[in-house]
Structure 1
């Protein structure tokens, strides 16, 4: 076994996985909340299902509220009646209390 002298420029002690580095960066710049909002909007179909996504025109966040514009009045009424459950599903998916209220337009 050969002995290699440690190079003074070696970064072995500073090596961290990319995932941990990105999470630390998001935390340092307080961007995790925005990333979670983008995740919810981009994952709307996977979270709520294809049937709901097909009748969804627009999804966006503003001040902790999730706004969802739907093209179907019956679906809007049905989801309105279950809006606390929708918020719970989304918050569980994200792993934090991101959605304070869901507004169906």
Structure 2
């Protein structure tokens, strides 16, 4: 006997993404990829490790001068990254 409760695979995947809270993780990846676009290639050259944990973006900066400049621009950078993500993903930025 054949079941008639067929569902689209896209609906199943969207439901799975919602249930597993994968959407936030995907948005975090978008934010990390947007880092170079937001700051430009020159500033991106000084970026080392970058990751998000509990809404805090951790960024290793390899130059004290660049780090000082980015600290002063922290809120503007956070706003632009969240705009790229389409919602508030980054609550705070910490430069390492």
Structure 2: segments with no counterpart, 5+ residues:
none
Runs of 4+ that moved beyond 6 A: 8-11
Question: Equivalent of 1:46, from 23, 37, 45?
Answer: 37
TM-score (normalizing by structure 1): 0.75
2:48 aligns to what? 57
Distance 1:43 1:23, change over 3 A: farther
Q: Check whether the contact 2:31–2:82 (CA below 8 A) recurs between aligned residues.
A: no
Give the root-mean-square deviation of aligned CA atoms. Answer: 2.2
Q: Which has the higher relative contact order, 1 or 2, with Cα contacts under 8 A spaced 6 or more apart?
A: 2
2:78 matches 1:82: no
Q: TM-score, normalised by structure 2?
A: 0.81
Equivalent runs, 1:3-82 vs 2, <5 Å: 14-15=7-8, 18=10, 22-82=13-73
Q: What do the CA deviations read for 1:19-69 (whole angstroms, capped 9, x no partner)?
A: x66444321221111111122223321232111111101111111100010
